[in-house]
Structure 1
């Protein structure tokens, strides 16, 4: 029987660069652990984060469906609110690696009480801004263009789902695994994972 959405085992959904709408469920598929599960627009799991210890731990991996580590997020010990993200490594000895894929700095605005993040990827800069509501945020580049936008998910009949279910719309022209790494760090900063 022919599948409606045929699966090519050689293709990787993680290297997608076109526009896509994802569903983020801020829960782990593993019982009694923290994390996140990400579904594409066809309902297929494409990314996951399983955090077996406690929320906000210092060392977290972003995985694809097959369990391949796409990146490792490591919170710096002596630098308050700073994370280094290493591409495709689950090695806990970060001294072996030369340079992180990107770095994240947490910013907290006392007046508005909003958490933001500044992200440096090589010579590119991005910012994650939390906007109206508990779950809505956007990722913008240095030019102010929105590259991804997350908000609380609504069902097709208009029912608002829980605070832990989000819709993430990602624009084209950017590596989606990079955006998911941004979202994972932001989830750790906000205590969601």
Structure 2
């Protein structure tokens, strides 16, 4: 095993401790992300497992504030993660709050379950921040052992791809999104159909929530 392969293997082991262990596949996984809801007049996503065609995740949102909050659900409509844009702070001004107020920093957080339906809001499972005009995003994931895992996500609007790297460890992306090709010939499918490829050990729900946030940040 080369040094790069050893680093990537360490990365895959490190991310195996996901919020939803049953969604951490021991082998590479390929999902189809359709940026459409199955419900009429609703914004959202429908995500399929390429291996058997079953629906893995849903996002259905009728609300006008879909750019401020969204819910990642399982096929049965149970909320797995709530993703919310961080509110701008207007008191106790510091450099972070000041940048937020100037909209130079965009910040999102993800919470386990339906945050609005919980009596006590638990800390976010991850936070994503992006500087104005920067085609990348920094993601900090709260691990169960108290330590934080850090990621960088890059994207290209022109070439329509997104790549997730584990900060300081991965030499290659641990997850990638790109336009999906169909059939025996490399023909691009619709503009709303994408392929999501994940390396072993990644929490599929967490990565999907990250992609939802990046789609708004782009």
Quickly name the TM-score band, shorter chain normalised.
0.7 to 0.9
Match for residue 137 of structure 2? 117
Secondary structure of 2:188's partner? coil
Report the Cα distance in structure 1 between the residues aligned to 2:77 and 2:213, rounded to whole angstroms.
19
In structure 2, relative to structure 1, the CA distance for the partners of 1:99 and 1:51 (3 Å cut) is: same
Following superposition, the deviation at residue 177 of structure 1 comes to 1.2
* Partner in structure 2 of residue 31 of structure 1: 40
Q: Secondary structure at the match of 1:129?
A: strand
The ranges of structure 1 where at least 4 consecutive aligned residues each deviate by more than 4 angstroms after the TM superposition are: none
Gaps of 5+ in 2: 1-20, 89-99, 143-147
**Hey, which of these two has a bigger chunk of helix by percent?**
2
**For residues 186 and 69 of structure 1, do their structure 2 counterparts lie closer, same or farther at Cα, with a shift above 3 Å needed?**
same
Q: CA offset at residue 159 of structure 1?
A: 1.6
Paired with 1:162 and 1:147, the residues of 2 have a C-alpha distance of 25
Contact 1:36 / 1:50 at 8 angstroms: preserved in 2? yes
Pair 1:147-2:156 in alignment: no
CA distance in 1, matches of 2:80, 2:152: 21
Structure 1 residues 174 and 17: alpha-carbon distance in aligned structure 2, compared to 1, 3 A threshold: farther
Q: What's the CA shift string for 1:76-102, capped at 9, x where partnerless?
A: 120441111101224267x83231111
1:86 aligns with: 111
2:205 is aligned to 177
Q: Deviations over 1:20-39 (max 9, x none)?
A: 10101011111111111110
Aligned to 1:163: 191
**Aligned length in residues:** 174
> Separation in 2 of the partners of 1:154 and 1:168?
12
Q: Does 1:187 align with 2:206?
A: no
> Structure 2 residue aligned with 1:131, among 156, 167, 182?
156
RMSD over aligned Cα atoms: 2.2
User: 2:75 is matched with which residue: 50, 65, 70?
Assistant: 65
Gaps of 5+ in 1: 1-11
Cα separation, partners in 2 of 1:104 and 1:92, compared to 1, 3 Å: farther
Q: Given the two structures, how large is their TM-score scaled by the length of structure 1?
A: 0.81
Whether the 8 Å contact between 1:20 and 1:172 is mirrored in structure 2 is: yes
Other-structure match for 1:4: none
User: Which structure would you say has the larger Rg?
Assistant: 2
**TM-score, normalised to structure 2's length?**
0.72
